Amino acid sequence: MATCEIPAVPEVHPALRRRFSPVRFDPDAIVTAAQLDTLLQAAGNAPSAGNSQPWSFIVGRRGDEVHDRIVQYLARSSTAWAPGASLLVVNLAHVRVEDTDNWEYSEFARYDLGQAVAHMTIQGLVLGLDAHQFRAFDRDAVAAEFDVPGHWEVTSMTAFGVAAHAPGEIASPGTSRERAEIDEITWARAGGS
């Protein structure tokens, strides 16, 4: 049973309101092993179709050996900011059944991975960590580097750390922070209070 207090005037949670994808991180900020465990627990607690849990993560903390192995496959655009983050997390989806002729593991594998990543990033906000998800890296090369088997897909990456700038202060090239209005993202809805 949910036990959160419901505010009289509903509003988006402050952590979600201030969330943004930084393009410069504090180069001295560290994510502790305990914080990392908490991020992974939050991801692992996400719901998934049939409780299939089709996710796995490659985790590099800045300065460690896994981090060094990930960084070499960043695209030029993400090399400008991602290595300075405290943590790089590669997000993997379990897309096929092992040793089969392309049988789908779950039709919701990427949906569920995205949800686990969302849980991880929101947990990060609670811990004071900002996050920038991205795909600007060589996914095949990362898969080869870490011997990821063919029934798993290297899908995306998340940089976690402490933002070193305010939202909107530095524009991320090729990206936008503009949002559609809620009536534009609502397919159908009855009126009333």
Ligand X SMILES: Cc1cc2nc3c(=O)[nH]c(=O)nc-3n(C[C@H](O)[C@H](O)[C@H](O)COP(=O)(O)O)c2cc1C
Enumerate binding residues for ligand X (CB under 6 A).
20-21, 78, 133-136, 156, 172, 175-177
Instruction: Give the Cβ contact number of residue 96 at 10 Å.
Output: 19
Going across the sheet that includes 152-161, the strands are: 55-61, 87-94, 152-161, 130-134
State the minimum distance, in angstroms, from the CB of residue 100 to ligand X.
Answer: 27
State the minimum distance, in angstroms, from the CB of residue 158 to ligand X.
Answer: 9
Residue with Cβ nearer ligand X (7 or 174): 174
Residue with Cβ nearer ligand X (36 or 163): 163
Q: Exposure of 188 by Cβ count < 10 A (0-12 exposed, 13-18 middle, 19+ buried)?
A: exposed
Residue with Cβ nearer ligand X (35 or 156): 156
State the minimum distance, in angstroms, from the CB of residue 27 to ligand X.
Answer: 18
3-state class of 23 per DSSP? coil
Residue with Cβ nearer ligand X (30 or 126): 126
Residue pair 60/145 in contact (Cβ under 8 Å)? The answer is: no
Element (H, E) at 53: none
